[in-house]
Amino acid sequence: MHMHGFTQEHEMFRKTVRAFVEREIVPHVEVWEAAEIAPLHDLLKKMGNLGFLGLNYDEQYYDRA
């Protein structure tokens, strides 16, 4: 286990998500804001291809409210 109880896999996933955001989102935010639109279809497709969508969480993290 690493800091805060995260495994090496968690850290790798976190770094992959951060790199994606820095590469695919951050450089374009101002243009998207000005146009009041973002290419969500393309972003979601890329995120799905990288395995970011449909993640499973351990039951202890579910909100049962």
pLDDT given at position 27: 97
Residue bearing tokens 């998207």: 32
Report how many domains make up the chain. 1
* CATH number of the domain within which 12 lies: 1.10.540.10
Per-residue pLDDT tens listing for the chain (65 residues): 455 677 898 899 899 999 999 999 999 999 999 999 999 999 999 999 998 888 777 777 776 66
Burial of 23-47, coded b for 16+ CB within 10 Å and e otherwise, reads eeeeeeeeeeeeeeeeeeeeeeeeb
Helix ranges (H only) for the chain are 8-20, 29-35, 40-49
Domain carrying residue 56: 3-61
pTM: 0.73
